[in-house]
Structure 1
Amino acid sequence: METQQNSKPMLYIKHMVCPRCIYLIRTELERLNIAVKEIQLGTVEFMQPLMEDEFSAVKTALEKFGFEIIQDQKSRIVEQIKTLVIDLIRYSKEPISIKYSEFLARETGKDYSMLSNLFSGSENITIEKYIILQKIEYVKELLTYDELSLSQIAAKLSYSDLGYLSRQFKEITGKTPTEYKKQRFNDRKPLNDINPD
């Protein structure tokens, strides 16, 4: 007799960082004929709890594309922080007006100092540094697309002024935004692999 793998019909998934990831996972779950209630960055909620064989099939299907199912609570919180940061930086329609600490505390329902300690202990990087690295990576992408001016990019990412963005960009990449834009090679990193070198 099959038994239920998890009593709550929710999975937390590592490396799920973009809308294309959502589409890919939805396609795989449809292929497996598993009914889904909702898919968001970092989570999949099912219509009912998965049976053991279903869980195993989902795990195998997701691992094929580099996703991992997160089963311990601390790792879930760390991945939730990463997903929330990426989502706010890349997919927010308006310039970011809320403090990241307030936003993360509100969205997770947890005290920011606890989140900060947990994240630093797990990732060997502060949340603040992680946010900066994600912002700079997005600036690199926007510079590559060449659709927005540097001033527009600074406004989009809520930098107080252009000079601050330029200084932070050079501190992280070793180049000014203008120098980066002129180079011919692309040194962008995958979103789920952003850490200090």
Structure 2
Amino acid sequence: MIVKSELERFGYTIIAIQLGEVEIKEELLKHQIDEIQKAFSQFEFTIIKKGNEKVVEKIKLLVNTFVNQHDELQHLNLSTYIQSNINKEYNYLSNVFSETENKTIEHFYIDHKIEKIKEYLSDNEISISEIAYKMNYSSISYLSNQYKKETGYTPSQFKSLNDNKRVGLENL
């Protein structure tokens, strides 16, 4: 009854409901699921992710690992790494990710690389040339162009900022 009333309060059309499972007519976006989870948490209910959402979470973890352990994984490309760890065709995984997250795996990967570059720039311990090498960019100019496209700043401009506009990985 609680699940039914909360979902109806949000304006969702319930197709079927049974113990532990509910099917609604509408497709939910991530922020809508978060909103429902917040409402359910007051009753100590948790939304359990199924199917595609578990795959997307696994892909996100693999991208994070790929970016942070790139030295060890440099001999692989991202698609091969993901496919070999999930044992499904990359095209399928890419479609599931895009449908769920409204961005491609590649763009998610670029977002993570940019945040890692910001980390390196903020630490101020290695040169831009070393960062380009560590992050597997073919040149400093390619890194700089992609960085500026994504952030609006060149790496040098970012280094000179006081507040270093970094985004938490959980917000990507």
- Output the TM-score relative to the length of structure 2: 0.70
Matches within 5 A, 1:143-158: 143-158=121-136
Larger of the two Rg values belongs to structure: 2
Match of 1:107 in 2: 85
* Equivalent residues of 1:95, 1:155 under 8 A apart: no
Larger RCO of the pair (alpha carbons < 8 Å, separation 6+):
1
Give distance in 1, aligned partners of 2:146 and 2:61.
22
Cα offsets for 1:18-49 (capped at 9, x unmatched) = xxxxxxxxxxxxxxxxxxxxxxxxxxxxxxxx
Q: Which whole-Å deviations, capped at 9, do the CAs of 1:62-115 have from their partners, x for residues lacking one?
A: x9xxxx875312111000000000011013443622111111110110100000
Amino acid paired to 2:144: S
Q: How many residues align?
A: 130
Moved more, 90-99 or 114-123: 90-99
Cα shift at 1:148: 1.0
| Correspondence 1:46-195 to 2 at 5 A | 70-94=48-72, 96-194=74-172
Pairwise CA distance, 1:187: 1.4
Q: Which runs of 5+ in 2 are unaligned?
A: 1-40
CA contact (8 A) 1:167 1:176 kept: yes
Cα shift at 1:149: 0.8
Aligned identity (percent) is: 40
User: Aligned partners of 2:146, 2:93: CA distance in 1, in Å?
Assistant: 24
> Which residue of structure 1 lines up, in the alignment, with residue 31 of structure 2?
none
More helix, by proportion: 2
TM-score by length of 1: 0.62
